[in-house]
């Protein structure tokens, strides 16, 4: 079946030779599927020459079973059963969109499950009901439908209705000419009931019928007529009955006999479509011979076609579309010759169908494409089969839909994949669900960027991304949308609100992240509230170029640090904006959390989570009054955490963010001694297109400044790497960047000279009293030396730094227990007591 992936736009079967000719030459979009057949290669049915394939490429649910099928064709020897999920669908693709197809499904139960209980279930074509299948214990059954494909895919679905496990043995799909069965269109299909070939004993199908319809022979107890002449059809005939079928007929030798046919069919209220095919097979002498028929319908007495004479060796059709069936479900037909007719009735072939309206709305094609992409990208193991939205009873779990604006289709309006064990990136195809209003991806483990396209979904009002700690930044478009109040985003355990009020120079832009401890109204604090939170600016805990940092507490007792911009600082207001905008977008466990802000008149303040254990600098310098110096493991942990925070800014954010002021004073420690990077006032975000950026103003702190940047004002991520290298040296040595010696030797030069002489012992902080692993110490010093290389090309990336530090940590973990024991012994001597909160270090300056 190779080569079906593309097909020419013309109708390939036009002008085909008369049968028999190979089906595969006649049709491109044919499918002959032996369900449950797991063989590698196709095989050819000896009777028809049709090639059957296994079904793996059409379905990925269900289980293969083997049936004892003596006396049945090979294709009935296996089946696929569907114990799981209410709806399971075969996806037949590609087909020509808008073309007519005969689809036939065959079932042989054969007690494959040893339950002795042949199941009853429903078949759907796409999202529309096709038929209810009642399988038999010892015989095969099949159902056939003529339908128009609505796209390049036809779905055949088996629906469990609680009467046993659905299964299928064979699935066949054959194209028809578009001129055939004109009753069939996109909103109407025909489910075949009978297809009789009168006057012949055997069933006839392909290759005699190029469309591979099954014509059952009806000859027993009848007077049969046949001819060896061809029976002609008019150009564009709507039924294309094979000549061989038409060349035989049933009749009577005596004129007073008539043909009564009664159909018990469908269900109450169904409409029936009947087509009778006629051709006169006897050459009549027009002088004294005639065949004139009255054809009756309904209960067999309503005259529908009076005085009808079939044409000689030319096919003709009489069609009946019935009213809705009565409760008895009978429709009776009677064909009688008129009094003057010299010959009895004749009929060559007969077809009856149930008219099925295909009126279920379908999900919008683009939504289907998007959700299928989401399903495969996230490798969802949900029973997501068939149309996502329709019919209502089988709507996909986690999906909700509504009518499109023009009511021609259904749109996906919400998607809830909460707690679905999702991993990997958020598929950007979610952005193709343009009618989406709600997206819940909470309680998963997603990573990578948040697609910016979410910001363009005009109806989207709510996103929950809680639980995926490794997700990237909130992208710009989304940020804007949140700031307009058009969207609420839950992210990293907090509700995120952003307020951007800039359009003229007077108005400050700002953003707010509201902690889950606060109410929506508390987003933007008023000056009065800031006064209250800081207890009238009572506890000053830090000071910087920006302003003063105060300790504060929210109504619920949560401790916060409030950074207040001094009114004189004009530079500060720019940095305020930069910081607020950045922190609103950037979230990581190793970056300090912004909880709120105040932009009330001239009072600009930022409210942060309070970092109990102050700055790394203060810990290293021993300024923290309890004198408890950081042990080796704590130092490596802090270094790694800070590196991760910085790596996130560099590689987790698009465009990357350069912090520009990495120093031990900007690395804060919380109660659990987790390190977080703070002070984003100088940070810049650069487009990837620019490898470097010419900065107009030298920023940063002496001692940490990248010499390359200092020289040529070229700023990139590697400038942060340099500063981080300095911090790493501080952590290892316990010394500040500039030695407080008369020569004011810079730490890099100082360490470098000791490295040259291989003197690691004198590099590492003497207060550690030798409690460290020399090999790891060397490794970290090497990393620090690489970070502080004079030229940026020679420096590692932060990702590489993180990798190296992780290795140091893994080995060190073995020593944790020992060292902790050691430190508890050391400090149990009672000389040192823990300091109170008054001694706590500032959060930021």
- The contact set with ligand NAG (CB under 6 A) reads 61, 63, 83-84, 183, 185-188, 199-200, 224, 226, 248, 262, 285, 288-289, 299-300, 328, 330, 332, 342, 357, 359-360, 369-370, 373, 416, 418, 423, 429, 432, 438, 440, 442-443, 445, 464, 466-467, 490, 501, 503-504, 506-507, 612-613, 628, 671, 673
Sign for the CA dihedral angle at 602, 608, 614, 620 comes to negative
On the CB side of 615, CA atoms within 13 Å amount to 21
Q: Which is nearer to ligand NAG, 86 or 683 (CB)?
A: 86
563 is in an annotated binding site: yes
Q: Work out the number of other CB atoms within 10 angstroms of the CB of residue 709.
A: 25
Q: Which is nearer to ligand NAG, 72 or 330 (CB)?
A: 330
Q: Cβ(377)–Cβ(446) under 8 Å?
A: no
CB of 85 to ligand NAG, least distance (A): 8
Which of 478, 433, 472 shows the shortest CA–CA distance to 454? 478
CB of 722 to ligand NAG, least distance (A): 28
Cα 443 to Cα 418: distance, rounded to the nearest angstrom: 6
CB of 476 to ligand NAG, least distance (A): 20
CB of 289 to ligand NAG, least distance (A): 5
| Torsion of Cα atoms, 693 then 698 then 699 then 704, to 10° | 90
Q: Work out the number of other CB atoms within 10 angstroms of the CB of residue 826.
A: 14
Q: Which is nearer to ligand NAG, 241 or 715 (CB)?
A: 241
Burial class of residue 227 (count of CB atoms within 10 Å of its CB; 0-12, 13-18, 19+): middle
DSSP state for residue 648 in the 8-state scheme: I
Instruction: Write the Ramachandran bin of 3: left for phi over 0, alpha for psi from -120 to 50, otherwise beta.
Output: left
On the CB side of 201, CA atoms within 13 Å amount to 2
Residues in the chain: 845
Which of 444, 352, 357, 333 shows the shortest CA–CA distance to 398? 444
Q: Work out the number of other CB atoms within 10 angstroms of the CB of residue 36.
A: 25
Q: Which is nearer to ligand NAG, 362 or 442 (CB)?
A: 442
CB of 285 to ligand NAG, least distance (A): 5
CB of 701 to ligand NAG, least distance (A): 25
Instruction: Name the maximum alpha-carbon separation found in the chain.
Output: 138
Which of 393, 400, 336 shows the shortest CA–CA distance to 367? 400
Which residue in this structure is represented by tokens 């895919």? 153
Phi, psi of 314 (to 5 degrees): -135, 135
Catalytic residue (choose from 34, 209, 364, 661): 661
CB of 658 to ligand NAG, least distance (A): 26
Q: Which is nearer to ligand NAG, 623 or 749 (CB)?
A: 623
Q: Work out the number of other CB atoms within 10 angstroms of the CB of residue 459.
A: 13
Cα 750 to Cα 767: distance, rounded to the nearest angstrom: 18
Q: Which is nearer to ligand NAG, 264 or 749 (CB)?
A: 264
Asked about 628 being catalytic, the answer comes back as no
Cα 666 to Cα 683: distance, rounded to the nearest angstrom: 13
Q: Which is nearer to ligand NAG, 344 or 685 (CB)?
A: 344
Residue numbers belonging to the annotated binding site = 563
Binding residues for ATP: 563
**Catalytic residue positions, numbered:** 661
């Amino acid at each position: 079946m190779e080569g079906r992936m593309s097909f020419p736009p013309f109708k390939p079967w036009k002008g085909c030779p008369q049968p028999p000719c190979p089906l595969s030459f006649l049709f491109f979009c044919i499918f002959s599927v032996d369900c449950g057949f797991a063989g590698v290669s196709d095989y050819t049915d000896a009777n028809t020459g049709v090639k059957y394939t296994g079904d793996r490429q059409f379905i990925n649910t269900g289980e293969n079973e083997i049936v004892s099928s003596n006396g049945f064709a090979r294709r009935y020897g296996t089946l696929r059963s569907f114990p799981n999920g209410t709806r399971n669908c075969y996806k037949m693709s590609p087909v020509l969109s808008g073309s007519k197809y005969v689809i036939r499904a065959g079932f042989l139960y054969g007690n494959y499950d040893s339950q002795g209980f042949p199941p009853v279930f429903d078949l759907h074509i796409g999202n529309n009901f096709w038929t209810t299948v009642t399988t038999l214990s010892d015989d095969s059954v099949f159902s056939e439908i003529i339908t128009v494909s609505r796209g390049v895919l036809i779905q055949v679905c088996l629906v469990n209705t609680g009467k046993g496990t659905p299964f299928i043995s064979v699935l066949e799909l054959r194209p028809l000419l578009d001129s055939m069965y004109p009753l069939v269109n996109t909103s109407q299909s025909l489910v075949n009931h009978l297809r009789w070939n009168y006057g012949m004993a055997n069933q006839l199908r392909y290759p005699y019928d190029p469309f591979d319809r099954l014509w059952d022979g009806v000859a027993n107890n009848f007077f049969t007529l046949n001819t060896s002449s061809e029976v002609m059809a008019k150009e564009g005939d709507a039924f294309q009955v094979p000549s061989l079928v038409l060349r035989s007929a049933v009749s009577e030798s005596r004129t007073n006999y008539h043909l009564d046919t009664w159909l018990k069919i469908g269900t109450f209220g169904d409409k029936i479509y009947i087509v009778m095919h006629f051709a006169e097979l006897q050459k009549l002498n027009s002088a004294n011979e005639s065949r004139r028929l009255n054809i009756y319908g309904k209960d067999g007495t309503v005259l529908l076609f009076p005085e009808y004479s079939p044409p000689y060796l030319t096919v003709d059709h009489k069609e009946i579309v019935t009213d809705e069936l009565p409760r008895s479900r009978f429709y009776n037909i009677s064909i009688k010759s008129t009094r003057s007719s010299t010959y009895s009735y004749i009929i060559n072939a007969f077809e009856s169908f149930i008219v099925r309206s295909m009126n279920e709305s379908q999900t919008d094609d683009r939504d289907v494409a998007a959700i299928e992409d989401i399903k495969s990208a996230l490798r969802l193991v949900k029973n997501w089969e068939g149309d996502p939205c329709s019919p209502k009873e089988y709507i996909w779990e986690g999906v909700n839909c509504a009518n499109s604006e023009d009511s021609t289709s259904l749109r996906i309006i919400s998607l809830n994949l909460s707690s679905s064990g999702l991993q990997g990136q958020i598929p950007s195809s979610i952005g193709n669900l343009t009618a989406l209003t709600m997206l819940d991806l909470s309680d998963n483990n997603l990573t990578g960027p948040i697609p910016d396209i979410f910001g363009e979904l005009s109806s989207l009002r709510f996103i929950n991304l809680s639980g995926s700690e490794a997700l990237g930044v909130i992208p710009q478009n989304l940020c804007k949308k949140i700031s307009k109040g058009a969207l609420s985003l839950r992210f990293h355990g907090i509700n995120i609100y952003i307020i951007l009020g800039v359009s003229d120079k007077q108005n400050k832009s700002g953003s707010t992240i509201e902690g889950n401890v606060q109410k929506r109204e508390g987003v933007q604090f008023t000056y009065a509230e800031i006064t209250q939170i800081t207890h009238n600016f009572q506890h000053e805990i830090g000071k910087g170029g920006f302003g003063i940092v105060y300790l504060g507490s929210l109504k619920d007792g949560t401790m916060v640090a409030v950074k207040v911009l001094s009114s004189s600082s004009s530079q500060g207001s720019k940095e305020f904006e930069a910081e607020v905008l950045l922190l609103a977008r950037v979230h990581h466990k190793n970056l300090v959390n912004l909880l709120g802000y105040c932009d009330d008149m001239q009072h600009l303040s930022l409210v942060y989570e309070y970092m109990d254990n102050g700055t790394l600098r203060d810990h290293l310098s021993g300024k923290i009054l309890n004198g408890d110096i950081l042990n080796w493991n704590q130092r490596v942990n802090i270094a790694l955490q800070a590196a991760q925070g910085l790596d996130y800014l560099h590689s987790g954010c698009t465009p990357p963010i350069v912090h520009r002021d990495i120093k031990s004073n900007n690395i804060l420690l919380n109660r659990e001694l987790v390190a977080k990077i703070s002070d984003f006032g100088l940070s810049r975000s650069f487009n990837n297109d620019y490898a470097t950026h010419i900065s107009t103003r030298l920023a940063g702190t002496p001692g940490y400044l990248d010499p390359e940047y200092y020289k040529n004002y070229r700023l990139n991520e590697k400038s942060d790497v340099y500063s981080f290298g300095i911090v790493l040296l501080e952590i290892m040595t316990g010394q500040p960047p500039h030695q407080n010696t008369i020569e004011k030797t810079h730490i890099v030069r100082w360490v470098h000279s000791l490295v040259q002489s291989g003197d690691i012992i004198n590099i590492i902080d003497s207060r550690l009293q030798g409690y460290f692993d020399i090999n790891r110490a060397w490794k970290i010093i090497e990393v620090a030396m690489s970070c502080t290389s004079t030229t940026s090309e020679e420096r590692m990336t932060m990702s590489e730094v993180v990798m190296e530090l992780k290795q140091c940590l893994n080995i060190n973990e073995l020593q944790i227990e020992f060292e902790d024991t050691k430190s508890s012994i050391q400090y149990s001597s009672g000389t040192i007591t823990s300091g109170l909160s008054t001694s706590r270090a500032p959060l930021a300056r």
